[in-house]
Amino acid sequence: MFVVDCDCHNGWNSADVLLPYLDGWWKDCYMRGERTGPPGSFPHGHRAWFHPEDFNRADVQPKNEDEHYEMMRDNHLNPNGINAAILTGDLPLEVSTLGNGHFAQALASAYNDWVINNWLPRDERFYGSLIVAPQDPPLAAAEVRRLGAHPKLVQVLASHGSTMPYGDPFYHPIYEACAEVGLPFSVHLGGNGGINTTSFAGGSPRYYSEAHTLFTQLAQTHLVSMIMNGVFEKYPSLKFIVIECGVSWVAPLIWRLDADWKALRKETPWVKKAPSEYVREHVRFTTQPLEQPANIEHLWAVLAAIHGRETLMFAADYPHWDQDDISAIKLPEEWREDVFGLNALRTYSRLAHLEPEARRAAAAI
Amino acid sequence: MFVVDCDCHNGWNSADVLLPYLDGWWKDCYMRGERTGPPGSFPHGHRAWFHPEDFNRADVQPKNEDEHYEMMRDNHLNPNGINAAILTGDLPLEVSTLGNGHFAQALASAYNDWVINNWLPRDERFYGSLIVAPQDPPLAAAEVRRLGAHPKLVQVLASHGSTMPYGDPFYHPIYEACAEVGLPFSVHLGGNGGINTTSFAGGSPRYYSEAHTLFTQLAQTHLVSMIMNGVFEKYPSLKFIVIECGVSWVAPLIWRLDADWKALRKETPWVKKAPSEYVREHVRFTTQPLEQPANIEHLWAVLAAIHGRETLMFAADYPHWDQDDISAIKLPEEWREDVFGLNALRTYSRLAHLEPEARRAAAAI
């Protein structure tokens, strides 16, 4: 089977690796400015919910920059048979929490340059994400245009923590740039702090486990917003990818949204089709963390309801605490080739060239 | 079949009906104070999302206070074979939006006195809700104790719009009073404005249809919060009822919460059991608006996952725009007696005396 891991986190030991990619003014901000940890920590507005176990697997503690790659290769890529891995960074996503959008985008751009120079050349299985700071959409759009032609950057990526739902016209300059360069716009769980502190419906929970369960809500808001603000009518080629936000909530949400659209569609006449149709055509969801109900048939029912064989893409989320074990993922047997690999090749245009290899892998089984 | 409608809205033509139940100071506030509409409108902080069609059915437009009852009787109770109807008020729920919690509770108390004097005597099928303003829990608790012994008030009711998630210790005085008088604590969709303006995860949507779809989020937050803050361990007799918030999102949320609890339960050692167990024992959901997927089996799978035959209770939501037609509700045949009537008699202790009558109705079919 040909496997694409759509959420593989490349880390660092110190954010100082970004120094060569920061210019004088922002380098000064980075070196001398206030931050939330000791020298080498990444500046970001942290959330109120501290993970009581930290995020990383206890058995993955690289001691230097080279080991970050070597441990990923030896603990994940090789043993799990990963044929292509989409690197999603780690702390850089949190630039969305910073009030100063200029500094935030400077840090994201430094990350992008760093990943191009220091990660992509290490392994031919690697593909990268073009991280943007969404709080200043024209700056983010400029970054998309600066690097969007790179053959190994497969998506534009932002945290799912936001000041406004992502369908809001405020963000459309980013999608215009994405459509122009032919990259999907993807959101990854994160950024729930700083200028995005009011992240949950009904007020702030107290415990990390509550927050982790409710992080799905932001993805719900963004998905509804992208559809109902007509983003997919305005940018018909745009794909929207939801990473690390769970998948079983999508069907219940879209049942309700379809009903509301049907009853109230004169309010949003630019939404030409039922929301569920936009989901099937434009939206993809990565699997991790895949829900594990007592009765797996209950999960499969809600995944079938969103045409999961077409809309789901495998992700492991190495090296995080709740990484999904590839051998333990239970999906209908006939979905596996699509979900584990082919859907990613159909969704990420920069991966399409891998399809012959994937077909050979399928035939070889 | 014996039918209990768990969400039946009793309205008025003018909030001036409350005047006999307001004392000098709050009467002055009501008469002379700023409000959001003409004289007779109810003071509340309105939401940013205006319903483009208004809430009420176009065919239900009572011209005076008596007609509110007569139209409900002739358009809903009689033709739909309702054996017991739990009145949930209408605008009074929105007291939760007011900054001044004293004024808010005075208005809620006036509503409670009004419903006792002007609605409950009209029809022996009527039962009432004891509405509280949750933003000042000690005042709300005092109101629960003032009227909690009334044999026809079956629940303590608040809007699901809140300043904090309802499991927060801030609200526990309300639950202590509920446990003391033996009434469930119920939340009903509403109150998403005023001091509760940051109601959605990830920022504010623009359109009513988006907001209506996402109103489920607040119920998600409250349900997680009630469980993870140990409310059901602290008040073992307490029942929590979620009204008009949909039902299909519950299973996906609880799958995720069970996993997070299992991984991180040392963070909340007072949560002794898996969250799904608290749901089954302490939480009930009213059906309206029941989701309507293309394949009804997909819905039934997620309802089976939360033991829907035990945890669901029928509600029509008369006379609102999205009222569920009782004849169109599709549930497994063997669930119907429980969901349409018996579960309400098991959940609301003040309805338990109806069980012999319900058994006779079941036998008569």
> Could you tell me if A228 and A269 are in contact, meaning their C-beta atoms sit under 8 angstroms apart?
no
Rounded CA Rg of chain A: 20
Q: Residue A121 and residue A151: Cα distance in Å, rounded?
A: 13
> Could you tell me if A7 and A314 are in contact, meaning their C-beta atoms sit under 8 angstroms apart?
no
pLDDT given at position B118 = 97
For A:118-177, CB contacts with B below 8 A are 160-166, 168
pLDDT given at position B53 = 81
For B:218-247, CB contacts with A below 8 A are 218, 220-222, 224-225, 228-229, 246
Average the pLDDT over B170-188 and give the result.
98
A230 has a pLDDT exceeding 80: yes
With beta carbons under 8 A apart, name residues in chain B contacting A253. Answer: 213, 216, 249
B198 has a pLDDT exceeding 80: no
Task: Please check whether residue B273 touches A, CB under 8 A.
Answer: no
Q: What is the 3-state secondary structure (H, E, C) of chain A?
A: CCCEEEEECCCCCCHHHHHHHCCHHHHHHHHHCCCCCCCCCCCCCCCCCCCCCCCECCCCCCCCHHHHHHHHHHHHHCCCCCCEEEECCCHHHHHHHCCCHHHHHHHHHHHHHHHHHHCHHHCCCEEEEEECCCCCHHHHHHHHHHHCCCCCEEEEEEECCCCCCCCCHHHHHHHHHHHHHCCCEEEECCCCCHHHCCCCCCCCCCCHHHHHHHCHHHHHHHHHHHHHCCHHHHCCCCCEEEECCCCCCHHHHHHHHHHHHHHHHHHCCCCCCCHHHHHHHHEEEECCCCCCCCCHHHHHHHHHHCCHHHHEECCCCECECCCCCHHHCCCCHHHHHHHHHHHHHHHCHHHHHHHHHHHHHHHHC
If you measure CA to CA, which chain B residue comes closest to A204?
Answer: B164
Q: Select the residue from A257, A260, A320 to test the B interface by mutation, using most B Cβ atoms within 10 A.
A: A260
Q: Name the region of B236 (left: φ>0; alpha: ψ -120 to 50; beta: rest).
A: alpha
> Could you tell me if B247 and B308 are in contact, meaning their C-beta atoms sit under 8 angstroms apart?
yes
**Residue B316 phi/psi, 5° resolution?**
-100, -35
> Could you tell me if B155 and B129 are in contact, meaning their C-beta atoms sit under 8 angstroms apart?
yes
Q: How far is CA A327 from the centre of its chain?
A: 22
Nearest to B90, CA basis, from B49, B131, B61, B143: B131
Average the pLDDT over A205-211 and give the result.
95
pLDDT given at position A106 = 97
For B:25-64, CB contacts with A below 8 A are 52-53
Q: Which residue has the higher pLDDT, A23 or B35?
A: A23
Bridge partners of B313, per DSSP, are: B286
Average the pLDDT over A62-85 and give the result.
96
Inter-chain contact B203–A160, Cβ cutoff 8 Å? no
Task: Please check whether residue B296 touches A, CB under 8 A.
Answer: no
pLDDT given at position B365 = 62
Average the pLDDT over A254-262 and give the result.
97
pLDDT given at position A364 = 76
**Other beta carbons within 10 Å of A265:** 17
b or e along B170-194 (b: 16 or more beta carbons within 10 Å of the residue's beta carbon)?
Answer: bbbbbbbbbbebebbbbbbbbbbbb
Q: What sign results for the dihedral spanned by CA atoms B97, B99, B105, B108?
A: negative
pLDDT tens string A284-304: 999 999 999 999 999 999 999
> Could you tell me if A278 and A231 are in contact, meaning their C-beta atoms sit under 8 angstroms apart?
no
pLDDT tens string A118-151: 999 999 999 999 999 999 999 999 999 999 999 9
> Could you tell me if A26 and A103 are in contact, meaning their C-beta atoms sit under 8 angstroms apart?
yes
pLDDT tens string B112-166: 999 999 999 999 999 999 999 999 999 999 999 999 999 999 999 999 999 899 9
B364 has a pLDDT exceeding 80: no
Contacts with B193 (C-beta within 8 Å, 6 or more apart), sequence order = B44, B45, B46, B47, B48, B94, B97, B161
Contacts with A272 (C-beta within 8 Å, 6 or more apart), sequence order = A233
Contacts with B255 (C-beta within 8 Å, 6 or more apart), sequence order = A248, A291, A292, A293, A299, B305
Which band of pLDDT confidence, cut at 50, 70 and 90, is reported for residue B246? very high
- By percentage, how much of chain A surpasses pLDDT 90? 86
Q: Residue B101 and residue A164: Cα distance in Å, rounded?
A: 29
pLDDT given at position A365 = 62
The chain-wide mean pLDDT, for chain B, equals 95
Q: Which candidate from A207, A257, A302 shows the least CB-CB separation from B267?
A: A207
Q: Is the model's pTM score more than 0.80?
A: yes
Q: Residue B104 and residue B81: Cα distance in Å, rounded?
A: 35
- By percentage, how much of chain B surpasses pLDDT 90? 86
Q: Which candidate from B204, B222, B248 shows the least CB-CB separation from A252?
A: B248
With beta carbons under 8 A apart, name residues in chain A contacting B323. Answer: none
pLDDT tens string A147-163: 999 999 999 999 999 98
Q: Residue B288 and residue B218: Cα distance in Å, rounded?
A: 16
Q: Residue A290 and residue A317: Cα distance in Å, rounded?
A: 11
pLDDT given at position B88 = 98
pLDDT tens string B257-278: 999 999 999 999 999 999 999 9
**Other beta carbons within 10 Å of A24:** 7
Bridge partners of B129, per DSSP, are: B155
What would the two tokens of residue B221 be? 């937050």
**Other beta carbons within 10 Å of B330:** 10
Q: Is B35 helix (H, G, I), strand (E, B) or coil?
A: coil
For chain A, the farthest-separated pair of C-alpha atoms sits apart, in whole angstroms, at 58
Task: Please check whether residue B267 touches A, CB under 8 A.
Answer: yes
Average the pLDDT over A321-345 and give the result.
94
Nearest to B196, CA basis, from B44, B81, B339: B44
pLDDT given at position A319 = 93
Inter-chain contact A259–B291, Cβ cutoff 8 Å? yes
User: Which region among A86-100, B42-56, B157-171 has the lowest average model confidence (pLDDT)?
Assistant: B42-56
Q: How many CB pairs under 8 A join A and B?
A: 235
With beta carbons under 8 A apart, name residues in chain A contacting B203. Answer: 162-165, 168, 198, 221
Q: Residue A132 and residue B318: Cα distance in Å, rounded?
A: 48
> Side chain identity at B298, as an amino acid letter?
H
Inter-chain contact B213–A257, Cβ cutoff 8 Å? yes
Nearest to A9, CA basis, from A128, A108, A140: A128
User: Which region among A186-190, A263-267, A360-364 has the lowest average model confidence (pLDDT)?
Assistant: A360-364
If you measure CA to CA, which chain B residue comes closest to A322?
Answer: B263
Q: Select the residue from B212, B226, B264, B306 to test the A interface by mutation, using most A Cβ atoms within 10 A.
A: B264
Question: What secondary structure letter does DSSP report for B56?
Answer: B
Inter-chain contact A221–B214, Cβ cutoff 8 Å? yes
The chain-wide mean pLDDT, for chain A, equals 95
Rounded to a whole number, what is the distance in Å from the CA of B39 to chain A's nearest CA?
29
If you measure CA to CA, which chain B residue comes closest to A260?
Answer: B209
Task: Please check whether residue A192 touches B, CB under 8 A.
Answer: no
What would the two tokens of residue B109 be? 């108390």
Average the pLDDT over B289-302 and give the result.
97
Q: Which candidate from A196, A209, A255 shows the least CB-CB separation from B248?
A: A255
With beta carbons under 8 A apart, name residues in chain A contacting B305. Answer: 293-295, 298
pLDDT tens string A29-50: 999 888 878 889 999 988 888 8
Q: Select the residue from B199, B213, B298, B300 to test the A interface by mutation, using most A Cβ atoms within 10 A.
A: B213
With beta carbons under 8 A apart, name residues in chain B contacting A251. Answer: 248, 293, 298, 302
pLDDT tens string B57-108: 888 899 999 999 999 999 999 999 999 999 999 999 999 999 999 999 999 9
